[in-house]
Homo-oligomer: A and B are copies of this chain.
Amino acid sequence: MKGKLLKGFKDWLPQDLIPKNRLLNTIIEVYESYGFVPLETPALEYKATLLGYGEEASKQIYSFVDPENNEVGLRFDLTVPLSRVVSTYKELPKPFKRYQIQPVWRYDKPDPGRFREFTQCDADIVGTDSMDADTEIIAIMNEVLNKLNLKFKIRVNNRKILNGLIRYAGVPENLSYDVFRTIDKLDKQGLENVLLLLGGGREDQSGVFIKGLNLEKAQIAKIEKFLTLPAGSRDEVLSSVGELLEGIPEGEKGIKELEEINNNLNALGIKENVVFDLTLARGLDYYTGPIFEAILEDAPRFGSVMGGGRFDNLIEIFSGEHTPATGASIGVDRLLSAMKFLGKIKERKSVAEVLVTVMVPERKIDYFKVANQLRKAGIKTELYMGTEPSIAKQLKHADSTGIPIAVIIGPEEFERGEVSVKDLRQIEEATKKIKTREEWKKKRPGQVTIKQEELINFIKKLLNKEVNHV
């Protein structure tokens, strides 16, 4: 096994990591523009902490006994550590708005594109039950996806409304979460199958029978009525569910919360990208109020790329005090896959903007100086360090790693105090148009010879960077 990558894990090579880091920087920029502050916690926690919310997580956790005989495990989410931190450091400002971007580990069945270590990217607001907080969470989700130029919808619902539905349908309360988890399958399995699962059950594709919840027909009919309320504007949805759940206090409370969010979103100018969707349930038990999730309209098969909700009773398990909270998590790796699928990712193997080629190795010192000048001017510059003496092959290195510009200084250029600059992007364009070798020689597309002292500004112009006028 020596030298082998562990099964279910992934090496992030430059061509994947460069766009991922760009994506993370966009997310951080948005988070910080709202005043969220960063937090990081250790990978290892006491197993008792990781299981603080229940034994269910146990199956997924990488756990072991450490050399000091503690039962420890690798974190499987960022919500448990948040809860631990909030209950440990009482001096943190309230509300505490933190973001956290760290890997988590889950012993799951690995799928193509699904790994046992993946990056979570959470933003939460702890210590307020104001709907302003939920609005901000929705707003940052909206802004991140806007900045990424994606077509998306953020679906919003409220667990209180779903609790109202349970009451309205006359379903026993202890079945609530089972009903929610069944409703959550609507997207993937369709209404008909969900209704079967609320009733006696159904056969899946491979012929295996899945037991249903055995609700009564009248109960199922009411749930169906709720689930098939017409979609529409946020106002329309609120009005139709308002009629249906009239007189059911929990439902009414949930509707009021969404009304407040609606007013806030209108003030922020956030319109059709955020919809109220009564069929959204989400899987986790711990949500207590508004819940949200984002899907990409052009890549629905990737499912929810961001999601979250309000969890007012969770942190209390650690802190012993009522500590309301709301937040969302971005599935960065999944979002990146979806963007790749949509052709929104430009894969590059290099971050460099310029390659300084080496034609006259004896004058290496001068190439060093040129590279240094460019770097000092804020231009990311790679000095060629391979073993190929041929400039054509050195240019191939630039081309294959996606470095857009190459600088060439041969004996003649040295003599005349000049440099040649090749814009490989222009050359690539030109190869599509120019057919003959003669024409190519005449036009020399994308290649210019200039004075050495013009180099910095010339390249800055090529890269659309601000030019320094001395």
A interface residue numbers (CB < 8 A to B): 1-7, 9-14, 17-18, 21, 32-46, 48-49, 52, 62, 64-68, 70-72, 74, 83-85, 87-89, 92-95, 97-98, 103, 105, 107, 117, 125, 128, 130, 132-133, 135-136, 263-264, 267-269, 318, 349-352, 355, 364-366, 368-369, 372, 375, 378-383, 385-387, 397, 400-401, 403
Contact = CB atoms under 8 A, between A and B. Distances in A.
B37 A18 contact: yes
Contacts of A267: 365-366, 368-369, 372
Nearest to A74: B43
9 contacts: A2-B46, A3-B49, A7-B68, A11-B42, A12-B38, A18-B38, A32-B380, A93-B397, A264-B368
Contacts of A365: 263-264, 267
A278 B354 CA distance: 37
Contacts of A6: 42, 44-46, 70, 72
B132 A385 contact: yes
A103 B43 CA distance: 9
A11 B85 contact: yes
Nearest to A119: B40
Contacts of A133: 385
Interface of A is mostly: mixed
Nearest to A28: B21
Contact of A39 (B17, B34, B95, B403): B17
Given A14-B98, A43-B103, A44-B117, A349 B37 contact: yes
Nearest to A319: B3
A362 to B, nearest CB: 12
A349 B96 CA distance: 11
Contacts of A269: 372
A313 B89 CA distance: 48
A102 B94 CA distance: 30
Max count, chain B CB within 10 A of own CB: residue among A18, A364, A403? A364
Given A93-B400, A318-B3, A67 B130 contact: no
B386 A94 contact: yes
A3 B52 contact: yes
Nearest to A130: B385
A117 B43 contact: yes
Given A11-B89, A93-B401, 10 more contacts: A1-B48, A3-B49, A3-B83, A3-B88, A11-B85, A17-B37, A32-B351, A35-B403, A132-B385, A267-B369
Contacts of A117: 42-44
Contacts of A372: 267-269
A13 B1 contact: no
A319 to B, nearest CB: 8
Contacts of A42: 5-6, 9-11, 117
A21 B99 CA distance: 13
10 cross-chain pairs, A with B, having the tightest CB-CB distances, nearest first? A35-B382, A64-B64, A35-B352, A14-B37, A9-B42, A12-B40, A1-B46, A2-B48, A267-B365, A3-B318
A132 B49 contact: no
A250 to B, nearest CB: 24
Contact of A2 (B37, B52, B94): B52
B93 A5 contact: no
Nearest to A365: B267
Contact of A4 (B18, B49, B364, B401): B49
A379 B29 CA distance: 11
Given A32-B380, A66-B62, A387-B128, A368 B268 contact: yes
Contacts of A49: 1-4
B381 A34 contact: yes
A324 to B, nearest CB: 11
A37 B19 CA distance: 11
Contact of A34 (B62, B83, B349, B382): B382
Contacts of A72: 6
Contacts of A105: 43-44
